[in-house]
Structure 1
Amino acid sequence: MDNCNLFIFLQFLFLLVPLLLAFSAQDNQVYIVYLGEHHGDKTHQEIEENHHSFLFSVKETEEDAKSSLIYSYKRSINGFAAFLTQREASEISKREEVVSVFQSHPRKYALHTTRSWEFSGLPEATNSSKDKNSLLYKSGYGKGVIVGMLDTGIWPESESFNDEGMDDVPQQWNGTCQTGEAFNTSQCNKKIIGARYYLKGYEAHLGPLNKSFDVKSPRDMNGHGTHTASTAAGRAVKNTFTLGSFAAGIASGGAPLAHLAIYKNGIVIGCLHAVRNNIVVACSAGNGGPLSGTVEDVAPWTITVGASSIDRVFPAVVVLGSGFQLQGQTVTSYQMRNKLHPLVFAGDVTKPDVPKNESGQCLPDSLSPEKVKGNIVLCWRGEGLRIRKGMEVKRAGGIGFILGNNEAYANDLTVDAHVLPATHVTYEDALRILEYINTTKQPNARITPAQTVVGNIRAPFIPSFSSRGPNLFSPQILKPDIAAPGLNILAAWSKASGPSMVREDKRVVKYNIISGTSMSCPHVGGVLALLKAVHPDWSSAALRSALMTSARVVDNEGKPIMDATDSQAVPFHFRSAVFDPNKAADPGLVYDATYKDYLLFLCSMKFNKLVHPFKCPKRLPCPFNLNYPSVAIPQRKSSVTITRTVTNVGPAQSVYSSSIETPPGTHVNIWPSKLHFNHTGQKKCFTITIKMGGNFTSGVRMHNYSFGCLRPFPKWRSTKLLSARTGSVGLGRRGKRIVVVGAVTVVVGSVTRDWAPLRSVAYLVLRGGVSGLLAVGSECRDGSILESGYRIKLVSGVDQSLMLGLVGYTGSDILGFGWEGLWFWGVCGWDLLRTIRVFWWRFPVEGYVGFPVGSG
């Protein structure tokens, strides 16, 4: 059975390898080197370095070895995929530690879903899973919730908006389906329950609408609004793909059974009034990155969403005449002939009248047809639209286009449906190509056809375009609030707009891949629809808090989330972290706020003209004290005390203690250090006192800000999954007992004795149906409970073992196992116990739960 499981697992990874067989230079092919299982406790970096050493042993240079490595498998199996010649593969296969070496074949490539929701932990959105612990199942896939979209309209004929099997329009809906050019009431249905357009303000400022670009109706002539609406609440549609058959699979929105209300309107107003009516408002952070201070829509009553990546790429390799290969990305459907072609740098083939500061960027009408014809052209990303750079190369007679990042964009690769064979490479790779051009008499290259590759890619990271903080309007509010998938996202599209969204592009697609924080925002919108269905009584602030405090701060390799320059991301990039939808449904505590709280915040910012009849108090509140799940201190002060209030939305009897990551250069005190709750809905206050002083040079910093966080850890919760009455397990010398508690199977093994009581050991094997944390403690005969100090994180479907020897030491209390059972000295005295109590926490207790604190 083990061999069978291993084979299936290997087959799965094998199918996910980037299939670049047809792309390699000379006789280079893609091979998979399998080294068996992992042994010892090597780090991921050490494992990858070991894989690199294999390649260095057969390659001429270290650079060749580095560039030939495609993927390093560091988790379930030990192995790597690389470009190798047949001779090199044969040499590696002879090494004693190598199990097997085999070649990858493109025809065996397996397609997956359209990915962003699956990567975010909601695969049920695409496969109709009945997992009762999933957010989608709990929310009924968003049934009964209405998602309003303010964007460029809707293309109602898209399959993503069919209403088959949907519930009737909610009775509380009072909206309308507005008719207009190329749009009538029949194009609204049980999915699109309302559609309106607002163009009078636009025409008043900019003159009559140009009907060659748009129409006076809710119909989307751009594609952007259709894309965002289907991302948030589109139906699950099978066999979708973009031009060139990229990202093929099932396309689905986050809340596929939610209703849509479409508003064709480019200006968002009245968000505070919407919040007053308990309507949740989410806005994109903007695409002004990587510059700091560019974040938009920073009002504290909105959820401001930055962008992150997913673990899917579209590799297209540049093969230089020297044999050197550089992997870029693209989703162009055009392919060049499988031979080498002349390669030039755009700066060498521009027209003589092009200014020096524009040279090399392939801006419109900048290239000389006499010099470009028949060549592949390398262009800097720089100024101008990426898609128009490729159009300029094609206009001048070029046959291929390489878009090279400048230093600011670094490793950020945004794919486009270019109008000729093309690929997009990193800044370092662009420099390598330029060096090859400048040092070779007749440089040449070719661009291989792109593929879709999913998995084994480190993600997420924060792309360069995502706008950054600090919040220049109200610096006491840390923005963006959160990040969500926004890089290379596939969703429905308008047939009136080409995939590049430029007028010259007459291609027609049903689904398209684009990037931006506008793609991130509907991901959050879809999750908010699901959360609203599960918790209809939660306020918009509570929903925002649940998203922010449950977000994850590490990537899929367990490492800190990075930005496009391979620097560690900071709260100015994404505040809390990247959203984690399933965990948001059970945050334990939330930071709530009311409409009045926001008005008082505006008072504190000296906005005196507010909603009538509200008047600001004579003594203005401190802006730091808005009950927000973060704290930012824009001016360095000797000491600041901040108040926060948390509401218990978990089990009635709960106790939380705090854990602090202190920002460098500060001293932080939390009072009280523990919060005891007696019922759900109960509110408790605590203060955070931050004193400045000390070393500001250590830690993660940005623009004279340093960062830290507060994590409220739950102690004991009232649910007694194992107790004297519900299945406590006696620990004897023989045999073992198995107790099934909800989704967790607890297997308690025999206690072994080593005569030294503190070395006695029992073991638990835990099989979790849902992710969470488990703690072990003792129960005294008088009913009191002692926490053991031992915790183990459970991951859904993964077995874990917990060894219990010296279970814990807390002050004068010692807990351990003896010959006859669990013994404890301290509260219970030398009292032999036969009971081990297991406490099961199903909500997250790890992550960026509290307050990233800025000080400068």
Structure 2
Amino acid sequence: MKRFSVFFCVSVFLFSCLVESKAAPLKQQNDGVYIVYMGAAAPSNNGSMRKDQAQLVTSLIKRKRNALVYSYTNGFSGFSARLTAEEARSIAQKPGVVSVFPDPILQLHTTQSWDFLDSFSDKKISAAIRPGSASAQPSSSGGADIIIGIMDTGIWPESASFHDDGMGPIPARWKGKCEKGDDFNSSNCNRKIIGARYYPNSDDQGGHILDSGSPRDHSGHGTHVASTAAGSLVDDASYYGLAMGTAKGGSPSSRIAMYQVCQSFGCPGSAILKGFDDAIKDGVDVLSLSLGGSGGFKPDFTTDVIALGAFHAVEKGVVVVCSAGNSGPYRSSVVNEAPWIFTVAASTIDRDFQSQVILGDKTVIKGGGIHFGNLTKTTMHPLATGASLKLDNATRSDDARDCVPQSLDPAKANGKIILCETHDPNYGIDDQKDEVISAGGVGIILIVTDETRFIAPKFDTFPGSIIIEKEGNQVSNYINSTRNPVATILPTVTITGNKSAPVVISFSARGPSLASTNILKPDICAPGVDILAAWPTEADLNRAIPGKNPPGYYIISGTSMSCPHTSGIVAAVKAQNPKFSASAIRSAIMTTSIQTNNQNAAITTTSGETATPYDIGAGEANPTASIEPGLVYETETADYALFLCVTGYNTSQIKLISKTIPKDFQCPDKLTEDAVSSINYPSIAISKLKDGEPKTVTRTATNVGPEESVYTATIEAMTGIEATVTPNKLVFTKEKKKLTYKVTFTAPSSPKNDIFGSITWTSGKYRVRSPIVVSTE
């Protein structure tokens, strides 16, 4: 199998990598390659270079013929090139240059999931427009004209999820292309996959090995996310019979354009920027990026390639959806936090992969995990703890307890099912499973934390199950109370609808944003755990069952999976509301989201605590209600420019970056982070509320429902804080489609902890909710 380190490789205890690789750590930058960012594209917008850009590139090529890697001319201006540090410093001083920085290497961060989301629908919407509806046909809605661009590892075009049956002609406005390459030609594109590009020049010629010279996916990640966002309907899709159902993307009638910006060594920033540049020119409506940097670092928006590319895409009307990252549950671990990016956290669905453990005393424990072993209820085997099977010369007794390599004695372990613990984070499930196999064991039971139980590890054909600590105590007590303990582990079965969901998964990155506590991130939450979607059928990319062909579908987890779920919903909203701006679409999804689970209780995290906006943003995405939001908050380029002022850009730099801001725009002389709180965003975040000193934020709502509408405000009580809305009633008419209100917050004493609430505007038909965060930082 090709080794591929990805951002969905979640280090959650024993699940060190969900595609079972142990690749070397990613290089932090593309050695010798620098990105020269020059802001807005040439005014003509016909793909030509700006004069100052052309002069720099020409001068560079004269000195170093092969220095140029990419030029950016469509959505923005600039280039990437192989430079010395001195050359980079010199170019940074040239007129028209905004920033110069080393080329970073970023990391990559379904059937039942869409049925589960549909179950939350609180509006009756016809099957013809319900995203993910099994009865929807590709030609049944305007979604056929929506183009979702995917920046990822490429695509496996032969997958049944990319068939174009029933789809009409490719939209005439499409300007992209299907690039030929190794084992890939124009015939691999169709009316579903309408574009495919790849970026081989991102290699720095310093040792990186390209997976292929084509858009073909040799990882699986890109194929998985593309089918999640816009896969066509496929009956009886499954992973060897598990998660059986109709596979479908969030917008099955939308088109797909793949931009292969990632290779096995990671995702070079220079290629990501070129992907943005091409996608803007090609005419995509949505861009989905399941990738990003490492969490826990304050972003620098002069060097953040996703933020820079996304800014120009959003300026052109493209909705940019990004994964929040997998560095949770740690505070301030969220990435892709620029306010023009739609940032997505990950949650569970109501499906479990159960691998039941049956003890000799008939006790049944509903363990988890995926395996296709051949044990049955009647094939009981001796059961023992790893600690009791310690190899005599093992260095540490705890090693045998955890079943780490070279810790178990084959003479003692042979023929047994072994109970292992998981205290050592240096070893993962494959290490422990392999040790049990090498010692002659016939099955493995792993005791994990309650939070870890939410993800199903893969044991392949070896019988295996994960159980929580309480259940582990049951097994241990049984072993200790019985002279000849025995057990069996049954093959995995799929269970749906019988557990509280959604739950915010532990790996999902959390707020508050390090960019600014006055913008709430993440924005939304969507399914990202044990998601079934399309996968290449290349043998090396599959954990195939002996004697069976790869199934073409695979189950993986990560915010990489929640991102395309949201991208599919974005496409569905765009299809039904073609005049909505990028920010209006984001607002529609955020303000109609859900805060309760399928048990009608508050959504929780895997630790059992009530989820806060730092965990789920506005809430769990609602694919049906978002199509008719009632009101939207439109965030303008001037709002984003103000944010850039606060984060360190000056007026002249901002005017280089954007040509759509008002000509008289100036960064305020006296600027504090409080200004960010009044950006017209669908959520509200304020910070450092002091004793008795009020803070006021402003919002402008746009009516997209019936022309004559009246909305009344309700504030969710926030302990120790008084919040007043002025006015508390919005009366929209044919002439008044936009109305502004203010919310003033006052506290008699400075809050000691972050406080959460919401403001909800309701009419007879619509409910428009914005979360509120009052932070102490």
Instruction: Tell me the TM-score normalized by structure 1.
Output: 0.65
The amino acid that maps onto 1:229 is A
Native 8 Å contact 2:702 2:738 kept in 1: yes
User: For 1:443-468, what per-residue CA distance to the aligned partner results, in whole angstroms no more than 9, with x for missing partners?
Assistant: 33211222222224322111222222
State how far apart, in whole Å, the 2-side matches of 1:500 and 1:345 are: 31
Contact 2:239–2:532 under 8 Å retained in 1: yes
> What CA distance in whole angstroms lies between the structure 2 residues aligned with 1:558 and 1:547?
20
| CA-CA distance at 1:161 after TM superposition | 0.6
1:686 aligns with 2:686: no
CA contact (8 A) 1:143 1:258 kept: yes
Identify the residue that residue 528 of structure 1 maps to in structure 2: 570
Say if 2:238 and 2:551, in contact at 8 Å, map to a contact too.
no
> Secondary structure at the residue paired with 2:501?
coil
Report deviation, 1:316.
2.1
Which residue, 602, 605, 612 being the options, matches 1:570? 612
Q: Distance in 2 between matches of 1:443 and 1:696?
A: 56
Q: 1:130 to 1:647 in 2, by over 3 A?
A: closer
Residue in structure 2 matched with residue 281 of structure 1 by the alignment:
320
Query: Distance in 2 between the 1:503 and 1:362 partners?
Result: 25
| Paired amino acid for 2:329 | P
Does residue 1:851 correspond to 2:772, yes or no? yes
Whether the 8 Å CA contact 1:122–1:582 is kept in 2: the answer is: no
Partner of 1:156 in structure 2?
A: 157
Deviation at 1:501, TM superposition (A): 6.9
Question: Whose relative contact order is higher, 1 or 2, with alpha carbons under 8 Å and at least 6 apart?
Answer: 2
1:396 aligns with 2:396: no
Distance of 1:678 and 1:131 partners within structure 2: 31
Q: 2:338 aligns with which of 280, 289, 299?
A: 299
Report the alpha carbon displacement of residue 600 of structure 1 after superposing the two structures with TM: 1.4
- Pairing partner for 1:121 from 92, 115, 118: 118
> Which amino acid counterpart does residue 223 of structure 2 have in structure 1?
T
Q: Could you say which residue in structure 2 is the equivalent of 1:342?
A: 382
Change in CA separation of 1:610 and 1:241 when aligned onto 2, cut-off 3 Å: same
CA distance in 2, matches of 1:153, 1:280: 20
Match of 2:222 in 1: 225
Q: Which residue of 1 aligns with 2:429?
A: 386
Change (3 A) 1:230 1:368: farther
In structure 2, the residue matched to 1:46 is none
Contact residue 461 and residue 545 of structure 2 kept, 8 A: no
Q: TM-score, normalised by structure 2?
A: 0.72
Cα displacement (A) at 1:372: 3.2
Deviations 1:668-721 (A, max 9, x none): 111111111113872221111111236969xxxxxx312111111226xxxxxx
Alignment match, 2:679 = 626
Partners of 2:404 and 2:310 in 1: CA distance: 39
Q: How far apart are residue 649 of structure 1 and its match?
A: 1.1
Identity of aligned residues (%): 38
Cα deviations across residues 722-770 of structure 1 (Å, max 9, x unaligned)? xxxxxxxxxxxxxxxxxxxxxxxxxxxxxxxxxxxxxxxxxxxxxxxxx
Q: Residues 576, 216 of structure 1: CA spacing in aligned structure 2 closer, same or farther, 3 A cutoff?
A: same
One-letter code of the match for 2:204?
Answer: A
CA gap of 1:235–1:600, structure 2 versus 1, over 3 A, is same
Residues 1:242 and 2:222 aligned together: no
Cα distance in 2 for partners of 1:443, 1:311 equals: 34
Distance 1:541 1:580, change over 3 A: same
Map 1:147-226 → 2, pairs under 5 A: 147-201=148-202, 203-204=203-204, 207-209=207-209, 214-226=211-223
Task: Give the AA of the match of 1:675.
Answer: L
Against the structure 1 CA distance between its residues 179 and 597, is the aligned structure 2 distance closer, same or farther, given a 3 Å change threshold? Answer: same
**Of residues 626, 629, 632 in structure 2, which corresponds to 1:584?**
626
Residue deviations 1:153-203, cap 9 Å, x none? 1111111111122122221212121222222221111111111222433x3
RMSD of equivalent CA atoms? 3.1
Contact 2:689/2:746 (<8 A) preserved: no
Instruction: Judge conservation of contact 1:551–1:849 (CA < 8 Å) in 2.
Output: no
Change (3 A) 1:519 1:426: same
Residue 183 to residue 403, structure 1, CA distance change in 2 (3 Å): farther
CA distance in 1, matches of 2:235, 2:332: 41
Q: Distance in 1 between matches of 2:345 and 2:396?
A: 35
Q: Deviations over 1:267-326 (max 9, x none)?
A: 453111111111111111122222222222111111111111222222221112333221
Gaps of 5+ in 2: 1-109, 273-305, 659-665
CA distance in 1, matches of 2:735, 2:324: 34
The AA in structure 2 aligned to 1:184 is N
**SS at 1:656 equivalent:** strand
- 8 Å Cα contact 1:575/1:852 also seen in 2: no
Report the residue type matching 1:343 in the other structure: L
Report the CA distance shift for 1:162/1:441 in structure 2 as closer, same or farther (over 3 A). same
Give 1:492 deviation, angstroms.
0.8
- Residues 132/114 of structure 1: CA separation in 2 closer, same or farther (3 Å cut): closer
1:853 and 1:139 map into 2 onto residues whose CA distance is 44
Q: What 5-or-longer segments of structure 1 have no aligned partner?
A: 1-112, 698-703, 716-840
Partner of 1:64: none
Q: AA paired with 1:709?
A: S
Pick aligned residue for 2:695 from 640, 649, 660: 640
Task: Name the CA shift for 1:146/1:132 in 2 (closer, same or farther; >3 Å).
Answer: closer
Q: Does 1:649 align with 2:649?
A: no
Q: Is the 8 A contact 1:583 1:844 kept in 2?
A: no
Alpha carbons of 1:386 and 1:285: their partners in 2 closer, same or farther (altered >3 Å)?
farther
Matches within 5 A, 1:299-448: 299-337=338-376, 338-349=378-389, 352-353=393-394, 360-363=401-404, 367-381=408-422, 383=425, 384-406=427-449, 409=451, 411-416=453-458, 418-438=460-480, 440-448=482-490
Total equivalences in the alignment: 600
Q: Which residue of 1 aligns with 2:656?
A: 612
What SS does the aligned partner of 2:644 have? helix
Per the alignment, in what secondary structure is the counterpart of residue 398 of structure 1? Answer: coil
Distance 1:597 1:205 in 2: 41
Any residues of structure 2 matched to 1:719-730 within 5 Å, and which? none
Evaluate the alpha carbon distance shift between residue 491 and residue 410 of structure 1 in structure 2; reply closer, same or farther with a 3 A threshold: closer
Deviation at 1:114, TM superposition (A): 2.9
Q: Is the 8 A contact 1:295 1:469 kept in 2?
A: yes
Distance 1:844 1:709, change over 3 A: closer
SS of alignment partner, residue 225 of structure 1? helix
Change (3 A) 1:515 1:588: same
Q: CA 1:133–1:166 in structure 2 vs 1: closer, same or farther (change >3 Å)?
A: closer
Asked if the contact 2:689–2:751 (Cα under 8 Å) also holds between the matched residues in 1, the reply is no
User: Counterpart amino acid of 1:146?
Assistant: I
| Contact 1:551-1:578 at 8 Å conserved across structures | yes
Which letter does structure 1 place at the counterpart of 2:433? G
Q: Which amino acid aligns with 1:404?
A: I
Q: Pick one of 581, 595, 606 that aligns with 1:553.
A: 595
Preserved contact between residue 394 and residue 406 of structure 2 (Cα < 8 Å): no
Q: 2:164 and 2:428 mapped to 1: Cα distance?
A: 37
Cα gap change, 1:365/1:230 in structure 2, threshold over 3 Å: closer, same or farther?
Answer: farther
